[in-house]
Structure 1
Amino acid sequence: MSRSNSRPSTAMAITILQAICIIYITSTGLRSVAGWMPDVRPDLQTKQDKVLAHFIGNSTDYFKILDHNDENILVGAKDVIYNVSLNGLKEIARLEWHSTDADRELCALKGKLEWDCHNYLRVYALRSNGEVLLCGTNSYKPRCRHYTPVEMSSEETASAGHAHVMRYEVSRDVEAQGLCPYSPAHNSTYAFADGQLYSATVADFSGGDPLIYRENLRTEQYDLKQLNQPDFVGAIERNGYVLFFFRELSMEFMNFGKAVYSRVARVCKNDRGGPYSHGKSWTSFLKARLNCSVPGEFPFYFDEIQAISPIVESGSKSLVYAVFTTSVNAIPGSAVCAYNVDDILAAFDGEFKSQKDSQSHWLPVERDQVPKPRPGPCVEDSRTLSSVAVNFIKTHPLMEDSVPAVHGRPLLTKVNLHHRLTAIAVHPQVKSLSGAYYDVVYSGTDDGKVTKFINILTTHPNSTVDRLKTVVISEMQVLPLGTPVRELVISTSKNSLVVVSDGSLVSVPLHHCTHIVDCLGCLSLQDPICAWDLQTHECKNLATSQHKFGTKTYLQSLNSTKKSAALLCPHVPRDGPGAETMSVVTIPPPPSEDQKLLYSNVGASQGDQPSFEQQPTGGDDFGLNKITLTSMDPDDMPSLNDPQKSTASVDEINRASAPSYVFLAIIVSITFVVGGSAGVFCVKAWSRMMEGQMDDSHRNHFGKPIQFKHQNTGKDINLLMGSNAYTTTQKTPNLDLEKDRSHECKNSTEHLEKELPCKTSTLTKVKRTYI
């Protein structure tokens, strides 16, 4: 009996001690437990962003951005290339190129589907003489054409109608093996530099011969050290080099398993091939690993690159922003990393990496084993190089050092089971109200969302390590749920962001300043281009508004929490007695329909501002979820304050009362522990005293039934029911002698008699014998 009662008391004591520890850790606000912070959730979130314009095609068109400027965009699609104006996404002109009947029939004979047997335009280049180079898949038989534009007469223009078909004359029509992919879904890329086309694609129908090609030069065929099942994502030109970004199976990890690494490869623009039998091989092809990982004792790597941005001139640095993900069957995660072009080029000046044999590890090549002059740099005429130098580059294309990310860590990390990052675009050097410049990054996901964020670098005076803070400004649902974002294009003149999917173009606002209706919401957005106008009480776009930097007519708070941002907002004194001791924030005007759609929970978690979630809406949720997740600043984690409190007075009361609650919880817990221990001691003492008084026959449950005399009624009590402890759920016999159980026995016998009406049953024998 004492043992059964001591277990609950002990369990209760352990539970109370655990609760005390949790309360203590939470109340003290320990910040050392911050290995991997959760995703930063923006304040501005909507189910569907406001669509300014759209251009709709078919899901099998496989839209691809071939070229764009601030006014127009060229879109390659199935059998046609569109010239679309960014002002309303209206088609200006088109050029059609269909596969021949023979090519389509041959494609069908090869086992391809009907939608495969079309000409998907994938490569576009404008030559200096005005000619247009256009390449397409051509029903799995790639071809390129050189077009010369021809002026159209007024009659031809009128007959073209709304399509505005442009007239071109084909000057050349050649095969494009190695220049254009066979399939529109294949990950290929290209760069056009100095009048020459550099392509990274496959050279055969099955896709088993990847290559980096220019004119008569290519990577070695079926050489896994150079290219091992790559997926190309982008190419750029810089300082006499062409850089290719891709992911591939890692050769240096083959002895440990199978892994995919992200790479950047480099070739010289003036490479003419090697001497003798090396005339069609690159003499300058080198590659290095891209390091995008969360630093620590055991870094967490995002190994699969998905997209890159063009070179962004960010102050004195030239950066390339890239999107990375984990593998499909790993922990779902995505990251955005930036790389300095100078760091990329410097990696190719380091040590080479090699493997002695197939069973050996990959190790740096010793300096005395590297031929002199050093292989790899660009030379005036690569055909004068020695065969030793060319062979060394062919067998040692991998560099030992990886390219580090800027700041040594990702600019944005996302761990989300529902989506991964797929595309990226950068609005460089946006000037804030303080005069500082920020790169505003837009990243698309595979479920139709666009995330907008900036990075703020904070320098601590007592530390040599700078702190990088990620500010997620907004996350908008732009495309239908489940539709991947393939590419992003920014138009600053139109203040729009073009989101590209396989079969549509959608234009959404680049900034949402005008959709914020209160001061706290505008400041909490932390968009460097948005500021609160103290005169008109509006959240304005600094790029379009007439203002002078450094004036006091605008408010902006980028590197602060919501609590500190709320203190910056102006307060208006209330009329009536006691007005000098009370202040409230100016109530914003009623929102418009666009503001209802886009304004989520900005500023709803802290401060004195009224928000739409706190006001009675009569059942109208403005198209938003009723339950909203409030953004949590890492500086405020962890905290016991309720994030849904809307007034500062309630927060202050909570902060003032938090220590009292902790002290009271500790006192109550100690009381429970002391009381439980005293109870256990008393129960054990009582048990020992009872054991001295009882006869040994009390512990016998397997002999004949024992009759006890009740102290009050004098009647015999039958303990036959449940006398065997192994036949009931009660593991110990019931020894409560103070309670009359005769009525329970009577009810039990009556119940059995109903179930067993036979007079000769066991129940009858029991009655005759014991009752």
Structure 2
Amino acid sequence: MLITTAYSRSRVESAAYLILLWFCFASLNSAWMPDVRPDLQAQQDKITASFYGNKTDYFKILDHNDASVLVGAKDVIYNISLHELREISRLEWHSTDADRELCALKGKHEWDCHNYLRVYARLDDGQVLLCGTNSYKPRCRHYAPADEGGTEAGAQRRGHMHYEITRDVEAQGLCPYSPAHNSTYAFADGQLYSATVADFSGGDPLIYRENLRTEQYDLKQLNQPDFVGAIERNGFVLFFFRELSMEFMNFGKAVYSRVARVCKNDRGGPYTHAKSWTSFLKARLNCSVPGEFPFYFDEIQAISPIVESGSKSLVYAVFTTSVNAIPGSAVCAFNVDDILAAFDGDFKSQKDSQSHWLPVQQENVPKPRPGQCVEDSRMLTSIAVNFIKNHPLMESAVPAEHGRPLLTKVNLHHRLTAIAVDPQIRALNGAFYDVIYTGTDDGKVTKFINIMTTHQNASVERLKTVVISEMQVLPVGMAVREMVISSKTNTLVVVSDSTLVTVPLHHCKLIVDCQGCLSLQDPNCAWDQQTHECKNLAGGEHKFGTKSYLQSMNMTRKAAASLCPRLSASPLPGAETVRLVTMAPPASGIGLDEQKLHYANVGALPGVMPTLSEQEQLASADDYGLNAYIDENKITLASVDPEQVMTNLHDPQRSTARVDEVQAASSWSTLYSVFIVCALMSAFIIGSIVGIKCRYCNHESHDASHRNHFSTPTQFGHKHQNSGKDINLLISSNAYASAQKTPNLDLEKDRSHECKNSTEHLEKELPCKTSTLTKVKRTYI
């Protein structure tokens, strides 16, 4: 019975503990905040133009300018106008029947056995270099413009690019075998630098130019790399990629991001090293959240071209965590000078397979220093060439600009895949900002900027991330592969495997009030006090330094609201006005469901509605279908500014995901919290009462067994079926009835013994002639 009593008590206590744990986890879940919430969120962005292909086209941007873009696809290269994404002309190149049959015999699918155009370059003599996979047998061609009764532009207007083939060669090492392989290239000084694979199976990665390549099957130089980009700078060609880390092999398997460097004037080494690089070096890219134990984003996914940001030359890159880790993404910027400086540091080596990787002592480095660019690398000594072959890795990693990521996102539904930068956008205050666009693998595009702030109690500048918008550009589940900014058309070209779409670079016209326009903190947007509109300053006429336009950069929301005349005329303490506006449906045929917008920069005041003149003005606004209050859209975001987490909890602009949630957040959250607290308190009170009762009953039962008489009927007693009186059962049917260790099976004898020692009153109430077992049967039958 003691075991039964303890078990029942433990069940009650376990239930109370489970409720407590559930409450704690619910509190932690509600406290988990994304890094930075965007000010604009739409279910579907306005697509100004689109160009569709097949699912297996594997679109790749080969070249672009402000007017057109060249897109490599399956068996064709498209010349597409950026105005309406209209096809201007095309150049077709199909694989031969023999190459397709051979590809099929090697076990490839039908869609693999086509010619996917991956490499494009304009040569100095006016010709064009074009390379394709050619059904897993890469080839390159040189094309010269053909004269067919007119100019090249006239031929393109007739729908085709007319070129003559001047050269057709194999492209092993210049072009990938598969369109899905991560390869890259750079064309510099009339020569093609490629980073791809050199065999059918993809097991021989290399960085190649003319007759020079990295060492074959040398894991110290390249260990299963995925190349993401290449740029040229100061006599060097830089390659960005991720690979399995050799220096981590003794501890497990890890992927690190790298940047490799080769000299453009490298001619190879002497003797047997004539076809080997003498200047190939690589270093790790450090994109991590700083701290005592830094959190690394180790896998680079994409880079931007070199951006001249003031006095610095920056390369912006997208990083992610590994595929089997918590989904996280980050954007880091690297100074080109820091990248080149890393290759002047110490070399890193391993004494043997069981040793740690350590820096090479200076006295062990040959002189002159290996890996430098020299006039004729063929004159180098074999010692220098062998040293650089065995020590390609640098000890120091390339630090990120500002020492931390510019943007971090932790989201279970998507990762960052692409990046584009609109550099040095001038705001009204005269400052310049790099506006960064990032694409995700579920079709979203996030726009953000970075602002340097000064802490109140210190003069140290800190990095502040301002996420301006996050728009659904492609269908959900369709990954963004590349993005291109067209300043002339003021559009962003978003590319997937089978689709090209253009969306506006700015969404200023979607904002309908002054406070929202200023809270957006977009350097392209400003509030026009004369027309009472949020206007785009890019390419338009505006007056810098005058009162015609208002703009808020690096200001709090309350400070931005104080700049607006309407909001500061009659302010209410602790409240902010809001306008509920539904604009007319667009005339372009785009559905309202695609144009519904969530604007999170507002707080709700009951009874505040736009005047009649305001409604007439807003009804004649732009062709965007705007509905700021919808239930279908959800803000999915992720990036956190630790400095503002507590502030954001009380800021409707930062802490709400939908506008309808802003109206119901306080009431439902209060009811939810009260319910949880009440449930928790009730569980503890019930558990305490039951525990006290259990202990009390056990004590009473124990005393009764010693006194040899029946105590007063308790809540555990049972009424006799005939007499209606309460009796205590001597058998242990109830866990709290008795503390007797050994059951007494002689029920008649025990009963008579107790009856003899009982009082006269109890003898009248309970005759001794009737056994306990008989009364139990009468009670339960």
Coarse TM-score class (shorter-chain normalised): 0.7 to 0.9
Q: Distance in 2 between matches of 1:362 and 1:146?
A: 46
Task: Name whichever of 625-634 and 443-452 sits farther off.
Answer: 625-634
Correspondent of 1:340 among 332, 335, 339:
335
> Contact between 1:284 and 1:378, CA under 8 Å: does it hold in 2?
yes
* SS of structure 2 residue aligned to 1:115: coil
Residue 539 of structure 1 aligns to which amino acid in structure 2?
C
* SS of structure 2 residue aligned to 1:593: coil
Instruction: Determine the structure 1 residue equivalent to 2:631.
Output: 625
1:128 deviates by 1.9
Q: Go from structure 1 to structure 2 and tell me whether the alpha carbon gap of 1:409 and 1:606 turns closer, same or farther (over 3 Å shift).
A: farther
| CA deviation string 1:611-652 (max 9, x = no partner) | 99xx9xxxx9679435755999862626468767999xx99x
Kindly report which structure 2 residues correspond to 1:98-177, keeping only aligned pairs within 5 A, or say none: 98-153=94-149, 164-177=159-172
> Contact between 2:156 and 2:162, CA under 8 Å: does it hold in 1?
no
Residue 395 of structure 1 aligns to which amino acid in structure 2?
N
> Contact between 1:584 and 1:608, CA under 8 Å: does it hold in 2?
no
Residue 591 of structure 1 aligns to which amino acid in structure 2?
M
> Contact between 1:9 and 1:677, CA under 8 Å: does it hold in 2?
no
Q: Go from structure 1 to structure 2 and tell me whether the alpha carbon gap of 1:592 and 1:356 turns closer, same or farther (over 3 Å shift).
A: same
Structure 1 segments unaligned to the other structure (5+ residues): 27-32, 701-705, 735-761
Q: 2:237 aligned with 1:242, yes or no?
A: yes
Kindly report which structure 2 residues correspond to 1:673-692, keeping only aligned pairs within 5 A, or say none: none
Q: Distance in 1 between matches of 2:684 and 2:97?
A: 88
Correspondent of 1:696 among 707, 728, 731:
707
Q: Distance in 2 between matches of 1:330 and 1:190?
A: 30
Q: Distance in 1 between matches of 2:471 and 2:412?
A: 17
Q: Distance in 1 between matches of 2:99 and 2:404?
A: 49
* SS of structure 2 residue aligned to 1:75: strand
Q: Distance in 2 between matches of 1:676 and 1:102?
A: 81
Q: Go from structure 1 to structure 2 and tell me whether the alpha carbon gap of 1:640 and 1:92 turns closer, same or farther (over 3 Å shift).
A: closer
| CA deviation string 1:381-413 (max 9, x = no partner) | 111111111110000000000000011111111
| CA deviation string 1:405-457 (max 9, x = no partner) | 01111111111111111100000011112111111111111111111111111
Residue 559 of structure 1 aligns to which amino acid in structure 2?
N
* SS of structure 1 residue aligned to 2:599: coil
Kindly report which structure 2 residues correspond to 1:334-733, keeping only aligned pairs within 5 A, or say none: 334-460=329-455, 462-463=457-458, 465-571=460-566, 590-593=582-585, 597-605=595-603, 624-626=630-632, 628-629=634-635, 635=644, 637=646, 639=649, 696-697=707-708, 716-720=725-729, 724-725=731-732, 727-728=733-734, 731-732=736-737
| CA deviation string 1:565-611 (max 9, x = no partner) | 3333222799xxx9999999695875243598253123234789969
| CA deviation string 1:19-70 (max 9, x = no partner) | 99999x99xxxxxx99x96232212111111100001111111110001111
* SS of structure 2 residue aligned to 1:424: strand
Correspondent of 2:68 among 72, 81, 84:
72
* SS of structure 1 residue aligned to 2:598: coil
1:555 deviates by 1.8
Q: Distance in 1 between matches of 2:64 and 2:198?
A: 28
Q: Go from structure 1 to structure 2 and tell me whether the alpha carbon gap of 1:598 and 1:313 turns closer, same or farther (over 3 Å shift).
A: farther
Task: Name whichever of 620-629 and 110-119 sits farther off.
Answer: 620-629
> Contact between 1:325 and 1:420, CA under 8 Å: does it hold in 2?
yes
* SS of structure 1 residue aligned to 2:261: strand
| CA deviation string 1:651-688 (max 9, x = no partner) | 9x99xxx9xx99xx99xx99x99999999999989997
> Contact between 1:76 and 1:82, CA under 8 Å: does it hold in 2?
yes
Paired residue total: 704
1:18 deviates by 11
> Contact between 1:572 and 1:583, CA under 8 Å: does it hold in 2?
no
Q: Distance in 2 between matches of 1:246 and 1:20?
A: 45
1:98 deviates by 1.0
Instruction: Determine the structure 2 residue equivalent to 1:304.
Output: 299
Q: Distance in 2 between matches of 1:545 and 1:770?
A: 92
> Contact between 1:145 and 1:173, CA under 8 Å: does it hold in 2?
yes
Q: Go from structure 1 to structure 2 and tell me whether the alpha carbon gap of 1:461 and 1:504 turns closer, same or farther (over 3 Å shift).
A: same
Residue 67 of structure 2 aligns to which amino acid in structure 1?
E
Q: Go from structure 1 to structure 2 and tell me whether the alpha carbon gap of 1:688 and 1:108 turns closer, same or farther (over 3 Å shift).
A: closer
Task: Name whichever of 79-88 and 36-45 sits farther off.
Answer: 36-45
> Contact between 1:520 and 1:609, CA under 8 Å: does it hold in 2?
no
| CA deviation string 1:517-560 (max 9, x = no partner) | 11222122221111111111100011233212121222222323
1:297 deviates by 1.1
Q: Distance in 2 between matches of 1:251 and 1:518?
A: 56
Q: Go from structure 1 to structure 2 and tell me whether the alpha carbon gap of 1:688 and 1:572 turns closer, same or farther (over 3 Å shift).
A: closer
Q: Distance in 2 between matches of 1:537 and 1:313?
A: 35
- Tell me the TM-score normalised to structure 1 length: 0.80
Q: Distance in 2 between matches of 1:412 and 1:323?
A: 10
Q: Distance in 2 between matches of 1:9 and 1:216?
A: 78
1:719 deviates by 4.4
> Contact between 2:133 and 2:179, CA under 8 Å: does it hold in 1?
yes
Instruction: Determine the structure 2 residue equivalent to 1:738.
Output: none
Instruction: Determine the structure 2 residue equivalent to 1:746.
Output: none
Correspondent of 2:223 among 221, 224, 228:
228
1:108 deviates by 1.4
Instruction: Determine the structure 2 residue equivalent to 1:40.
Output: 36
Q: Go from structure 1 to structure 2 and tell me whether the alpha carbon gap of 1:506 and 1:698 turns closer, same or farther (over 3 Å shift).
A: farther
Instruction: Determine the structure 2 residue equivalent to 1:316.
Output: 311
Q: Distance in 2 between matches of 1:437 and 1:768?
A: 94
Residue 41 of structure 1 aligns to which amino acid in structure 2?
R
Instruction: Determine the structure 2 residue equivalent to 1:30.
Output: none
Q: Distance in 2 between matches of 1:190 and 1:707?
A: 89
* SS of structure 1 residue aligned to 2:492: strand
Q: Distance in 2 between matches of 1:98 and 1:432?
A: 49
Q: Distance in 1 between matches of 2:371 and 2:91?
A: 42
Correspondent of 1:293 among 288, 299, 305:
288
- Tell me the TM-score normalised to structure 2 length: 0.79
Q: Distance in 1 between matches of 2:537 and 2:48?
A: 21
* SS of structure 2 residue aligned to 1:540: strand
* SS of structure 1 residue aligned to 2:402: helix
Q: Distance in 2 between matches of 1:272 and 1:500?
A: 38
> Contact between 1:563 and 1:606, CA under 8 Å: does it hold in 2?
no
Residue 313 of structure 2 aligns to which amino acid in structure 1?
S
Residue 460 of structure 1 aligns to which amino acid in structure 2?
H
1:174 deviates by 0.9
Q: Go from structure 1 to structure 2 and tell me whether the alpha carbon gap of 1:14 and 1:230 turns closer, same or farther (over 3 Å shift).
A: closer
Q: Distance in 2 between matches of 1:344 and 1:769?
A: 90
Q: Go from structure 1 to structure 2 and tell me whether the alpha carbon gap of 1:203 and 1:610 turns closer, same or farther (over 3 Å shift).
A: farther
Instruction: Determine the structure 1 residue equivalent to 2:255.
Output: 260
Q: Go from structure 1 to structure 2 and tell me whether the alpha carbon gap of 1:65 and 1:608 turns closer, same or farther (over 3 Å shift).
A: farther
Cα RMSD for the two superposed structures: 4.7
Q: Distance in 2 between matches of 1:769 and 1:683?
A: 24
